[in-house]
Amino acid sequence: MKILVDADACPVKDIIVRVAKQLNLRVLMFIDTSHSLNDGYSEVTTVDKGRDSVDIALINQTQKNDIIITQDYGVAAMALAKQAHCINQNGLIYTNENIDSLLFERHLSQKVRRAGGKTGNPRKRTQEDNERFEKTFRQLCNTLI
């Protein structure tokens, strides 16, 4: 089991590394060439800035029982298809039971935006978001080791 992170816009990289170090788990961070990352622990894979390049590289390395951390519902769906475990930066665990409705909501929001509508801005990240992520992430890791 390893941890794979869609790291370009991931706000919880430091939490991931701290928990992984404590549990002696391997971490792979995936970024594109417009970012740089060196946390002294993770293995960093840098790919070109092409559309979905990070997503494809991450999914190509995903295996059964890995933990994937992503905000992207499409990446989560592909990871679940490979029998990996998936969590977002707020501690939401993606499952086969919730991924279809999340993808459908994303589709509806895209339709509204394409038609010129607005779908609202994401709320500002809070310390509670970080705490919820860490608690859920730690529980998920402990369940799988």
User: Apex CA 13: angle with CA 130 and CA 140, to 5°?
Assistant: 65
Express each pLDDT in 62-119 by its tens digit. 999 999 999 999 999 999 999 999 999 999 999 999 888 877 676 577 777 788 888 7
State how many domains the chain has.
1
pTM score above 0.85: yes
Residue 34's domain is classified under what CATH number? 3.40.50
pLDDT of 98 reads: 84
Full residue range of the structural domain in which residue 73 is found: 3-144
Q: Which residue has the higher pLDDT, 105 or 49?
A: 49
pLDDT of 99 reads: 87
Q: In this structure, are residues 59 and 75 in contact, taking their beta carbons and an 8 Å threshold?
A: yes
Confidence of residue 139 (pLDDT cuts 50, 70, 90): very high
